[in-house]
Amino acid sequence: TSIGSYWFSDKVVLKMTSAKQVAKEDAPELYNIVENLSITAGLPMPRVFIVNDPAPNAFATGRDPEHAVVAVTSGLLQILDRTELEGVIGHELSHIKNYDTRLMSIVAILVGSLAILSDVFFRSLWLGGMSNDRENKGNGIFMILALVMAILAPIIATLIQLAVNRKREFLADADGALLTRYPDALASALEKIASDRHP
């Protein structure tokens, strides 16, 4: 399932958000911004989608630049001016250029695998301890270690995932600012998004 979700992540996310693909004539300003910044970044033109949602948001998905998608909400289009929208699109295109979707998929798979292995290890020791010699002190020590691993492994894995995600966001901010050559636009957009009251 992990390979399938990686391979079809763009389709899954677009279906979940009810995003609608737009052509140049449907949203000329948005389409032109994505097209111009894609050329500047040396990326193939991603498909452009709009999500009908008042909350200001944007995301990029797809396993590589050839299968990339950039989506924005209708709420984002309403509150941002052109330069701010360029800042946000530059940020999303940087995620595509840096293969962040692929990286985060791999990290999520590793985190999930670690949690499953920890659970399997704990269960095997528990069942092994029940079926074999109950008075074996070594089994007691392994049971305690297994319990500690079962509790700590998912927490540590999640912290690693959050740390990687945060670093990739900072990198996308920096690369997006280099792409548009106007970092104040992204900063202004982020302020507007943060102060918006939509959930």
> Active-site positions?
92
Half-sphere exposure of 148 (CA within 13 A, CB side): 6
Q: Are 46 and 62 in contact (CB under 8 A)?
A: yes
> 122 and 147 in contact (C-beta within 8 Å)?
yes
C-alpha distances (whole Å) from 70 to each of 14, 19, 106, 170, 177 are: 10, 10, 21, 18, 17
What the block records as the tokens of 17 is: 């958000």
Using CA atoms, how far apart are residues 47 and 161, in angstroms rounded to an integer?
28
CA–CA distance, 3 with 113 (Å, rounded to integer): 13
